[in-house]
Structure 1
């Protein structure tokens, strides 16, 4: 029947962990909007896998730095466009229909 996507499982994992554990998300993150969504779904931090490696493969350390700068710029823009000044204020309601960012 297949498996559950990591982003679909994230809210339940975050709820179950509560304040006892720090939930890190590392699945399918390709840009700043993905970081925003993961934080809204309950992650406390987001890890980069492929984007980091792609940058490394293309241009070594400079490539990694470029990828991180671009991702942070996109995340900052997503925060601002959704009415947030900092990541700690993002909630699940930001992803609901009629919220600041669509599903």
Structure 2
């Protein structure tokens, strides 16, 4: 009797072990990027060669203003900024834009 109970326990444990590994599947990774995202190569070309980095034209634009905001002091910085040429630098947690020329005042 004891031998039958041990045999059943062994069969159930082996069956449970096999079934648990049969059901385990790796899930697809969660994609946390927005729609229409651009690849890093678009901004910097070859990641290992900084000589082929493309230049972009950049200008600050106001896209949202709080309701009832006055225009005094609101557009002083962004409206007067000219269009500049920049190259992008990708770090671990930031995308930096650097001027491609020296500023002479």
Say whether the fold is shared (TM-score over 0.5).
no
Max radius of gyration: which structure?
Answer: 2
- Higher strand content, 1 or 2: 2
- Higher helix content, 1 or 2: 1
| TM-score between the two structures when normalised by the length of structure 1 | 0.22
Highest RCO, 1 vs 2 (Cα 8 Å, sep ≥ 6): 1
